[in-house]
Chains A and B, each alone.
Chain A
Amino acid sequence: MFDDLRDLYQEVIFDHNRNPRNFREMPNADRKVEGFNPLCGDRLTLFLKMQGDVITDASFQGSGCAISTASVSLMTEIIKDKTEAEADALFQQFHAMTTGKGDDANLEAVGKLAVLAGVREYPARVKCATLAWHTLDAALKNQQQAVSTE
């Protein structure tokens, strides 16, 4: 029935929405930033554990649509054990991919995150996919205030 939506809602997205990875509070987190889109109601808190400039653990809590939940769940998996510079490079590639500025080379670079490339055909939903990454960007820059992509 929803054949047209297969590019947007891939099975991986449903899977991460049903069973979000790293969905837990991190009491001893080094970084903690909130991402909140008040217009649609997507809300997440991102926790990072750092060792030097390496992200040794990442987790989140919150609620949102399938796109935002899958995006933050996938992100917490992929950024683990990455340096800040590597995570930032992924953010740039992810941003290019979801806003339609990326090419196929970028798609390979982002690996598993490529399942979210479909949002670029749905301008109203890009902000759902990018909320997690803008929250990460704020966390890496050690900013405290809540982030929004609306």
Chain B
Amino acid sequence: MSTFPVEQIRADFPILAERIRNKPLIYFDNAATCHKPQAVIDSLVHVYSHEYANVHRGVHTLSQRTSEKFELAREKVQHFINAASDKEIIFVRGATEAINLVAQTFGKANFKAGDEILISAMEHHANIVPWQMLCQETGAILKVLPMDHQGELILAELDALLTDKTKLFAITQMSNALGTVNPVKQLIAQAHAKNIPVLVDAAQSTPHMLIDVQDLECDFLVFSGHKLYAPSGIGVLYGKQKILEAMPPYQGGGDMIRKVTFTETDYNSLPYKFEAGTPSIADTIALGTAIDYIQHIGMANIAAYEAELLEYATEQAQAINGLRIIGTAKEKGAILSFTLDRIHPHDIGTMLDSLGIAIRAGHHCAMPVMDFFEVPATARASFAMYNTKAEIDVLMQGIQSLIEVFG
């Protein structure tokens, strides 16, 4: 831990110098969205100042320069998740759009009444609602792999839920509400043994762990740039090339076509088939910059540092009377979700805010998780590589004090 250059990293994030309610900002809402290093901010400014034009169409120099940078970002994403080809990297607005894309193309083309889609009990609404909508359209049925009170999937029930009717298993790699890290490689192998494709929701996991889609063998993987130190409005759908090629297109428009007449249209090849319209050009290029930044620090170093932060925070939280940690899985990412006896999470959120501490209070877009733990909401502190033990100390002192104030 002593070798992790946290102070140097903090200096790269200008927003960490902000004061909130006249206190230094302590930002523990990283699972919702995280902040941007100067390199990413500079990248946006640089694109708009020096290399901005539309991509893939101009013969002029500026457009070519932009297109090159744009496609370079795709290669960076490809290497970041170790995809076999850059054709397998589809740029979308975020993980939510990526899941909707799969539901509306792969799902609509392949699912019929009576088919089953399997998800888990700890999914974010983004990995529930698109499937429910698809079920309403097709008559398919949504099935749910349950979890236990530690917030771990009940793996013994998986085999029975993977049936000859199951057309897709969509599972989060890391729960945003609980922090649980699921053994996705094992789950994928189990599904593949029955020829069931698997979509991995990596929105929460990408900032915290190395991801290798070829090692996982997942069929789809989705994530968002804004949780990965990149701008909002850019995200990624990874899909195996063969599957993507067989899928009908998503939205129609420019860039996704090869030839258009009023009687028919030839669709473009991968990945452009799924990228209709002018993309979020500068944000995409800045996503590449964010990946450079993360790789410069090293994902293994980030993961080790965050694990120490979580362990430290968990130990301190366990020592507080009346604090209940929601989500105590053995494998956890840097998320501490908790409740306090007789103090509503929104009161916790408002009181900590007055100390300059940003946490999330609410259902974290995972209402079924709240129902399962029989709480209306939780308070959630989620950590990133720029957080420190000293900040966790301030959080814990704040929690102790507000317990006293509430009496």
User: Which chain B residues border A67 with CB–CB below 8 Å?
Assistant: 346-347
B24 within 8 A of A: no
Chain B nearest CB from A104 CB (Å) reads 25
Chain A nearest CB from B114 CB (Å) reads 31
Identify whether the interface residues of A are mostly helix, strand, loop, or mixed.
mixed
Known: A2-B402, A4-B21. A18 touches B407 (CB 8 A): yes
CB contact between B406 and one of A1, A8, A66, A125 (< 8 Å): that residue:
A66
A105 within 8 A of B: no
Q: Which one, B102-110, B209-217, B309-317, B362-370, is touching chain A?
A: B362-370
Q: Residues 17-35 of chain B: 1 if any A CB is under 8 Å from the residue's CB, otherwise 0?
A: 0000110000000000000
B351 within 8 A of A: yes
User: Which chain B residues border A124 with CB–CB below 8 Å?
Assistant: 350
User: How far is it, in angstroms, between the C-alpha of A43 and the C-alpha of B370 when the chains are bound?
Assistant: 14
User: Which chain A residues border B376 with CB–CB below 8 Å?
Assistant: 40-43, 63-64
Q: Residues 93-105 of chain B: 1 if any A CB is under 8 Å from the residue's CB, otherwise 0?
A: 0000000000000
Query: Chain B, interface size: which category?
Result: 20 to 34
Q: Which of A1, A9, A64 has the largest count of B CB atoms less than 10 A from its CB?
A: A1
Closest A-chain residue to B378, C-beta based? Answer: A41
B398 within 8 A of A: yes
Q: Which of A17, A41, A64 has the largest count of B CB atoms less than 10 A from its CB?
A: A41
Chain B nearest CB from A15 CB (Å) reads 9
User: Which chain A residues border B362 with CB–CB below 8 Å?
Assistant: 39-41
B355 within 8 A of A: yes
User: Which chain B residues border A42 with CB–CB below 8 Å?
Assistant: 344, 376
Closest A-chain residue to B355, C-beta based? Answer: A1
User: How far is it, in angstroms, between the C-alpha of A38 and the C-alpha of B362 when the chains are bound?
Assistant: 10
Residues on A close to B: CB < 8 A?
A: 1-2, 4-5, 8-9, 14, 17-18, 38-43, 63-67, 122, 124-125, 128
24 A-B pairs whose Cβ atoms sit less than 8 Å apart in the complex: A1-B398, A1-B401, A2-B405, A5-B351, A9-B347, A9-B405, A14-B405, A38-B367, A39-B363, A40-B346, A41-B344, A41-B362, A41-B370, A41-B375, A41-B377, A43-B376, A63-B376, A65-B346, A66-B406, A67-B347, A124-B350, A125-B346, A125-B350, A128-B346
Residues on B close to A: CB < 8 A?
A: 21-22, 342-347, 350-351, 354-355, 361-363, 367, 370, 375-377, 398, 401-402, 405-407
